[in-house]
């Protein structure tokens, strides 16, 4: 193979607070020649996720290292194999991998997974059939299993994980599912599109007051994607023995000062509450079980997935900024083909 020109999004400065367009650069580069065991993928879809904001800061975490300055960002992507030096991954295969934020990717075949696009469309493997859906599934079947008759509250309920979590909670036996979202349209969409019993607009009035009205006898399970005032409201609403799964805390991702914890943490002691965090990387072995169930739900229409799509790699930074502002309904994706 001869090298070919391609484009990628590089991080050129570390943001303070909310990322700005000038923190990114669209760079033309060349794809390297393939080594044995490698494939060349023309990316067609790429995922945009809130957790990426943390990787833009200097230093490392227990989860993933920081993005390097002057180097491309990365994240989940789907694409077509256009050249292969790997047995078992032929030209024409569609794969999901982790070298997004570029139009072409050269990677070891072991780092890619061939997907079945006859089972579901390719972008679905970045959303409800990807780690997004798996996060919700693992949270509600293993970390904090839904119990028959539970009252469940989900924050960021119109987002990628939240929109799936609310639907799964119902399938797993919840009696009542309440979601919060920003704006009256999104709150209504929770009920009309995603099957929530009640959609709360957290911008309309204090969330704790709304939640108390929506669940006057309390809640049993909280799925936290927001942190901050949402977590505080949930702690106040959880019944004795209640549980919470902590997935994300998007309300603080752009913060420049230390974020105070909820003022009512002693509720955990008083009510014998259980709060557990989740890292989806520990549940990748659950993928076969999850896809086997979720693909059927998608096919019969009992699991609804939505996407917010922007076109062109040059729009990826704006898409990330938009996700952090809550601009998406369902999964935020960039279409590259």
Tell me the pLDDT tens digit for each residue of 188-226.
999 999 999 999 999 999 999 999 999 999 999 999 999
- Residue 165 CB partners (closer than 8 Å, separation 6+): 136, 139, 140, 154, 157, 223
Q: What is the mean pLDDT of the chain?
A: 95
Assess if residue 242 is contained within a domain.
yes
Q: How far apart are CA 226 and CA 8, in angstroms?
A: 30
| Rounded mean pLDDT, 40-56 | 96
pLDDT over threshold 70, residue 245 = yes
- List of residues 6+ apart from 238 with CB closer than 8 A: 218, 219, 220, 222, 244, 267, 271, 273
- What pLDDT sits at residue 60? 61
In a domain, 297, yes or no: no
Q: Are 274 and 139 within one domain?
A: yes
Share of the chain above pLDDT 90, in %: 94
CATH number at residue 324: 3.90.180.10
Tokens 């939640």 -> residue:
211
Structural domain includes residue 157:
yes
Q: Residue 234: helix, strand or coil by DSSP?
A: helix
Quick one: 121 and 141 in the same domain?
no
**Residue 87 predicted with pLDDT over 60:** yes
pLDDT reported for residue 144? 96
Domains: count for the chain: 2
Side-by-side strand order, sheet with 198-201? 198-201, 176-181, 151-154, 219-224, 238-246, 274-277
For 205, the domain range is: 135-281
Per residue in 276-318, pLDDT (tens digit) is: 999 999 999 999 999 999 999 999 999 999 999 999 999 999 9
User: Are 264 and 318 found together in one domain?
Assistant: no
Q: Identify whether residues 139 and 223 lie together within a single domain.
A: yes
Whether 333 has a pLDDT exceeding 60, the answer reads yes
Task: Give the angle subtended at the CA of 328 by the CAs of 8 and 128, to the nearest 5°.
Answer: 85
CA distance 65 to 61: 6
Percent of the chain surpassing pLDDT 70: 98
Nearest to 207 by CA among 191, 194, 219: 219
Give 167's pLDDT tier (boundaries 50, 70, 90).
very high
- If asked whether residues 85 and 159 sit together in one domain, one would say no
The pLDDT of 3-7, averaged and rounded, is: 86
Residue 259's pLDDT is 86
pLDDT band at residue 61 under the 50/70/90 scheme: low
In a domain, 162, yes or no: yes
**Between 160-171 and 184-194, two packed helices, what is the crossing angle to 10 degrees?**
40
Residue 62 has pLDDT above 70, yes or no: no
Question: Residue 324 — pLDDT band, cuts 50, 70, 90?
Answer: very high
For residue 299, is it within any domain? no
CATH number at residue 275: 3.40.50.720
């Amino acid at each position: 193979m001869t090298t070919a020109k391609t484009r990628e999004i590089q991080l050129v400065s570390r943001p303070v607070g909310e990322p700005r367009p000038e923190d990114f650069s669209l760079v033309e580069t060349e794809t390297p020649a393939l080594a044995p065991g490698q494939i060349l993928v023309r990316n067609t879809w790429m995922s945009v996720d809130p957790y990426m904001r943390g990787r833009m800061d200097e230093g490392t975490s227990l989860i993933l290292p920081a993005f390097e300055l002057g180097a491309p960002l990365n994240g989940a992507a789907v694409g077509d194999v256009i050249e292969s030096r790997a047995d078992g991954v032929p030209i024409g295969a569609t794969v999901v991998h982790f070298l997004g934020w570029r139009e072409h990717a050269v990677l070891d075949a072991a780092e890619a997974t061939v997907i079945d696009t006859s089972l579901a469309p390719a972008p679905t493997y970045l959303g409800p059939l990807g780690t997004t859906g798996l996060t919700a599934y693992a949270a509600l079947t293993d970390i904090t299993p839904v119990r028959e008759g539970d009252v469940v509250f989900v924050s960021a309920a119109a987002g990628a994980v939240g929109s799936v979590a609310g639907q799964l909670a119902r399938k797993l036996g919840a009696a009542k599912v309440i979601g919060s979202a920003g704006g009256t349209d999104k709150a209504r969409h929770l009920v009309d599109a995603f099957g929530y019993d009640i959609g709360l607009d957290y911008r309309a009035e204090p969330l704790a007051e709304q939640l108390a009205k929506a669940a006057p006898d309390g809640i049993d399970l909280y799925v936290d994607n927001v942190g901050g005032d949402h977590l505080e409201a949930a702690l106040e609403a959880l019944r004795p023995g209640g549980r919470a799964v902590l997935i994300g805390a998007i309300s603080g991702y752009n913060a420049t000062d230390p974020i105070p914890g909820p003022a009512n943490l002693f509720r955990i002691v008083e009510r014998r509450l259980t709060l557990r965090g989740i890292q989806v990387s520990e549940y990748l072995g659950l993928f076969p079980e999850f896809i086997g169930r979720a693909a059927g739900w998608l096919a019969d229409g009992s699991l609804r997935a939505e996407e917010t799509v922007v076109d062109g790699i040059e729009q990826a930074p704006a898409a990330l900024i938009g996700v952090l502002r809550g601009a998406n309904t369902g999964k935020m994706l960039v279409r590259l083909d």
